Amino acid sequence: MTRMSKGRYFGALTATFLLLLACGVPALFLLNSYQIPRDMGIDDNLTNLFVGILLLLAIGPFVLTWMILPFVVIYKMWASIRDGYARTTPGKAIGFLFIPFVNLYWLFQVWGGFPTDYNEYVEGHRLDVPRLGSGLFVAYPILIVLSIIPVLNILTVLGAQIVFLVLIAKTSDAINRLAEANQIQSRPPIPINVKQIAATA
């Protein structure tokens, strides 16, 4: 059954952020001041190469993590309720996001539509788990679409990242509760005589 590890996802984001600081700060320092390298007898070309490597190590893993992680979460989300009745499959949920223009509409189906299908899955399978609210799942694609607008995207990109962090936590809890409920429901019932022995023991 599909499960999500909050620790793993937040750990990856934390590690790339620390790497961003560890490599980005020295790179910016060297980029704005060549006084130290010149005093050490290092030419500007070598300094530029060193700065480029630092920036690549700082920005590369950070950007890649933020680009890939939403797709991982999307796959886990839709895989957790895959019973033939959900509006999409995990593969389709991701694949349609790469179709130009269609992806603007599909964002709202993939994120905003998940709580609806999740709750229908819970009700249809009669699982004893809390229902999922739709507020943040709708807000996230709105912030992503608004990030296309220049100047405004300074705020919306930051807002989308914050909302995404909360979504990771909410989605992980929801999917893990769902997996537990499915596991309990799939266990064979205890025979009556065993129940009676346990009650009288």
The predicted pLDDT at position 44 comes to 64
Report pLDDT digits (tens) over 58-105: 888 889 999 999 999 999 999 999 988 999 999 999 999 999 999 999
82: left (phi over 0), alpha (psi -120 to 50) or beta: beta
The predicted pLDDT at position 173 comes to 94
The predicted pLDDT at position 195 comes to 45
Q: Say whether pLDDT at 30 is over 80.
A: no
List the end-to-end C-alpha distance of the chain, in Å, as a whole number: 35
Q: What's the predicted TM-score (pTM) here? A: 0.81
Mean per-residue pLDDT over the chain, rounded = 85
Domain boundaries, the chain: 6-188
